[in-house]
Amino acid sequence: MSTQAPAPPSPAPGGPAPAGDVPLFYRRGFRRLLQQGLYVAATALLFWYIYDALNLREFGFGFLNDPAAFKVANQWLIDVDGVTSSRIEMYLVGVWASLRVVFVAILLSTVVGIVVGVSRLSSNWLVARMAMLYVEVFRNTPLLVQVVLVYAIFLVGAPIIQEVLNIGDFAFLSNRGLAIPWPVPDAGWWGAPDWFVGVWVALLIAIGAVAMTVRRQRQVRERETGQPHYANRWAFGIFAVGALVTFIVLGLPVSIDRPYVEGTRYLEGMVIRPEFAALTIGLTLYTGAFNAEIVRGSIQALPRGQTEAANAVGLSAYQRMTLVILPQALRQMIPSITNQYLNVNKNSSLAYAVLYDDLFRVAGIIQNKAGHALEMFFVIIVTYMLISLVISALMNFINARVTRVGV
């Protein structure tokens, strides 16, 4: 290279050399253009190679509309027969199954995280040590092992269906799952049609809105007058009375369906299957351990002076926690907790290990039957990304709310 390009002229003592004197190859603008040009060319080459090698001329999603011809378990609230249903419908059943696990595991792992995290800071020796033991066990072992272990415990430890454990004729436990009572539409007093349930739910939402408005007003008044206005009690009371009155007026449109065992099957009620339970419990325990560390770390990261100042002002322990410590700790907590929630979403694909028909497993079945692996993986990746982005968006919304200042 040095033989081709002449040596750059040494800069004039008074300032940079005029542009005309610098050979093209050494000019900064030319270098930038050259680098970007090479990058564009390499990228184009890569994509052309992929297109050519994978024969993407046949890339398309038409196969998803064909009949599925397979069945999945755990199709709660969605009714597909697996014969005439299309593959995309079956896939959506899988997505719905994943969402259920993710939602429940996120909720439970948050509760576990807060309880265990605060317990680790307890001055009670036993409580603190138990919390530490829990965190160290579940943080330092693979999630896959935990999920499979819970599943194995369920299958081996729970009785077989012939010897089902009858919990007061109310719930039944066997290695086919836990059957519990569940609300279903009911004719009630004067033969209410099924859609009365919808009416009741709509009314409940309206009553909830009223209760929240009253709560808000009473909070404002409490702040303005300094006198206690029991906002939460009022809101709860309004909702409870409203729910009861509308329930009676609509003629009891909902009844509780109690499960029973017939032969080797559960009938009616709601069955929490071992696969769902194992995956949810595994995710909860594992993520709960990480959440606990985040909660503990965020509280410990606050300067001691904050606690002392709150004490010196005369706040009670509860006021200190809710008005001074948590508002500041939550700011630190939420970004890390969000990461854990995204991990719950991604780790839910371990459903594969316990044969729970989540989106990844259903997608695998579709791909087995129809081929189109590339398209299927494209769909899977986009689905997980969408769920993650929704979780992130919700958490950003919550973050903006909890960090908003107001006394």
Partner 1 sequence: MPDELSAADIIAESAGPKAVAETDRAPSEEPEQFSPRLANARDMIITEHVDKWFGDFQALDDVSLRIKEEEIVVILGPSGSGKSTYIRCLNRLEEHDAGRIVIDDIELNEDVRALQAIRSEVGMVFQQFNLFPHLSVLSNITLGPQKVRHMPKLEAEALAMQLLERVGIPEQADKFPAQLSGGQQQRVAIARALAMQPKIMLFDEPTSALDPEMIKEVLDVMQELAESGMTMIVVTHEMGFAREVADRLVFFDEGALVEQGTPEHFFTNPREERTKLFLSQIL
By CB under 8 A, name the binding residues for partner 1: 125, 223-228, 303, 305-306, 308-316, 319, 323-324, 327-328, 331, 403, 405-407
Which positions ≥6 away from 56 have C-beta within 8 Å?
50, 374
Residue for token pair 């409940």 = 204
The CB-of-218 to partner 1 minimum distance in angstroms stands at: 14
Identify which of residues 10 and 227 has a Cβ nearer to partner 1 in the complex.
227
- For 60, the enclosing helix (H) or strand (E) is none
Q: What's the rounded Cα separation, in Å, for the pair 133 and 31? A: 58
Identify which of residues 229 and 372 has a Cβ nearer to partner 1 in the complex.
229
Identify which of residues 20 and 303 has a Cβ nearer to partner 1 in the complex.
303
Nearest to 93 by CA among 65, 74, 70: 74
Angle at CA of residue 164, ends 158 and 168, nearest 5°: 110
Identify which of residues 16 and 314 has a Cβ nearer to partner 1 in the complex.
314
The CB-of-130 to partner 1 minimum distance in angstroms stands at: 16
The CB-of-315 to partner 1 minimum distance in angstroms stands at: 6
Identify which of residues 261 and 323 has a Cβ nearer to partner 1 in the complex.
323
Q: What's the rounded Cα separation, in Å, for the pair 106 and 108? A: 6
The CB-of-13 to partner 1 minimum distance in angstroms stands at: 45
Backbone angles phi, psi at 185, to 5 degrees: -60, 145
Identify which of residues 251 and 327 has a Cβ nearer to partner 1 in the complex.
327
Inter-residue long-range contacts of 392-401, CB under 8 Å, 24+ positions, other chains counted: 392/338, 392/342, 395/334, 395/337, 395/338, 395/341, 396/338, 398/334, 399/331, 399/334, 399/335, 399/338
Identify which of residues 339 and 403 has a Cβ nearer to partner 1 in the complex.
403
The CB-of-116 to partner 1 minimum distance in angstroms stands at: 20
The CB-of-131 to partner 1 minimum distance in angstroms stands at: 16
Q: What's the rounded Cα separation, in Å, for the pair 55 and 109? A: 44
The CB-of-405 to partner 1 minimum distance in angstroms stands at: 6
